[in-house]
Structures are given as C-alpha cells and as structure tokens.
Structure 1
Amino acid sequence: MINHCTQSLKNLEACLDKAEQHAAARKFDIGVLLIARLAPDMQPLIYQVQSTCDYVKGAAACLSGQTPPVHEDNEQTLDNLNVRIRKNVAFADSVPQARHAGASERRVPFSWAPGKVIVGVDNLLQMTVPNTYFHLSIAYAILRQNGVDVGRMDFRGRVNFVAA
C-alpha cells in the first residue's frame, strides 16, 4: 500500500511538470499555480503537495517503527516541491520490507490525540490512504481548474497488466 502511495507521489511530480510546461507555454509565472486554491477557505497547491508527502512519509516511518524525517514546510517554488516529493519517495523506498514485519498491529500515536493510539492497519486504511488521496485529488483539481492538461491517466499513472 505504501508503494502505491509513493507511485502516486511520482504521478504528482509528473503533473507538476505539466503545470510548469503550461505556465511556460502561456507565459505566466508558475508561482500563480503554486498559491492557487479551489476555494477561499482551502489550502493552496503548495500545502496540498506538502501534505500528500507528509502522509506517505509518516506511514512509511510509523509502520516500520521509525520516526518520520522532519521536513520544514518552506517550499516556495516548483523545484522545491519536486525535491520534497523525491525526498519522501526515497525515504519510503529505503525502508526494508523486513522493517514492516508486524506493521498491521504496530501502535501508532498521534500528537493531536494524547493518550490514544491506532493500530498500523487502521492507520494505513483510515488515515494514510484517505488523507493521501484527498490532498492528491485537491492538488490535481487545482491544476485542472487552472487549465493544466492533466487527466485521469496522469492522476492514476501506469497500470501493471499481466498476461491473461
């Protein structure tokens, strides 16, 4: 499941590349897209990318018994966001499969719920996957709303077909 989330981060990076091409072709500053929002009370694209990354790295760390690496939320450019995506993918990919032994029952605490924990499988299914795809979908929608030519295949990425 974490591998699927990291693939989604790679797909997001490809969508951001399309956003850069879109801005260049139309001769406007890509920064306009980075601060774009779907609604006034929603967070901008930069935040959506940061949050997507945070949920993936958090799950990779917590489910392997590690502390997630800390990344300051100080990205201001497309290059900064791409670096953050690559750092998080690299971290998640660096966790050896053996570290995930017992992950489904590992107890995961949250700073915002003192004295309470959630078991690994519930963390993955109730927190990581829904929040990853929420922020990923919002990022995608911001790009679409602003005319970037991304579609379902960009969001979903490649499909691993096997012979019938």
Structure 2
Amino acid sequence: MFSLSRQVEIVVSGAKGSAARLAGRLSPGDESPEFAVFNRGDEKSFGDRLTSFASLQTLIGEAVAYLKTISREEVDAAPASITVAKPGEARIFEPRSFVLDYVLPNLYFHITTVYALLRSAGVNLGKKDFEGTPAYRIQTAGLGQA
C-alpha cells in the first residue's frame, strides 16, 4: 500500500487529470505525473516525497485552484471519447462512463485509504468527517402518525 502522502498525490493528480480530460485540455497521450489518472503503478513514477501536512495542504489547494479554472462549458463540450494510457494499453471511455465507472470508484478508493491511514495513525476522525455535511433535510414532525 502506498503511504499517506502518495495516496493524497494520487487523489490530487487523478482529480486534475480527470477534469482536464473531461474539459478537452489534454491529448490522449498526455500522462504527465501532474495529470496522471490513477495509473502510476509504482513508487518510482512519483516525484519528490511530500513529507509534511503543510506540503499536502498546499498540493490540495493548488489542485482546487486548478479545478476552479475549468468551466462548465468546457465540460459540456467534452470529447466523444476519453483515453487513459497505461503501459501497453489504452483505455477508451465515453465521458459518462469515464466519470461513473472509472473516476469516482478510484477517487473513493484512494480517499477512503487516506481516511483509513489517518485513523490508523490515531487521528480522531469519524464517519461524519468522511461523509461531510449531508445533502438532505431532516423531517421530524408528522412521522409515525397514521
């Protein structure tokens, strides 16, 4: 299993690379580490090790800033297919399948791994920290009455 810092790097580059592909900003063969999409494979394919929470927070902040530069219009005009290159193969997706079947499962996996690594190191995190604020309303009045 990769370390905490590597898992964060994978989430960040995966989010940026996925969004860039959906926006048509990257060509199919562009697999630079900054925009890799969950397919690095081994420790050698990463850059310098990030060793502090501050450096990880900076990396995440830079990714959020990049993601904010991608417009809805760019994504709405997504290419008909999105290619993710791996050594010896190319995976070709329709945009919807790329997001639902590839990007989201990979993001969930690596984010969950970050969460588990933090908890195993003694960081006081709970389920609510992982889920965030729910997107639903709570109704109590009138429940259980016939």
Which of 107, 128, 138 lines up with 1:132 in the alignment? 107
Amino acid at match of 2:57: N
Normalized per residue, which structure has more helix?
1
* Match in the other structure for 1:57: 16
Q: Contact (CA 8 Å) 2:84, 2:91: kept in 1 or not? A: yes
Q: Percent identity?
A: 25
Counterpart CA distance in 1 for 2:77 and 2:89 is 23
Counterpart of 1:110 in 2: which secondary structure? strand
What TM-score results when the alignment is normalised by the length of structure 2?
0.73
Distance 1:95 1:150 in 2: 31
Aligned residues: 122
> What corresponds to 1:110 in structure 2?
84
Q: Give the drift of 1:115.
A: 5.1
Deviation at 1:62, TM superposition (A): 0.5
Larger-gyration structure (1/2) = 2
Q: CA RMSD for the aligned pairs?
A: 2.3
Output one character per residue of 1:3-51: Cα deviation in whole Å (capped at 9) or x when no partner.
Answer: xxxxxxxxxxxxxxxxxxxxxxxxxxxxxxxxxxxxxxx1110111011
Aligned equivalents of 1:143, 1:116: Cα separation in 2: 32
Q: Which runs of 5+ in 2 are unaligned?
A: 35-45, 140-146
* 1:158 partner SS: coil
**Greater than 4 Å deviation, 4+ residue runs:** none
Structure with bigger RCO (C-alpha 8 Å, 6+ apart): 1
In structure 2, relative to structure 1, the CA distance for the partners of 1:135 and 1:101 (3 Å cut) is: same
Q: Any stretches of 5+ residues in structure 1 without a counterpart?
A: 1-41
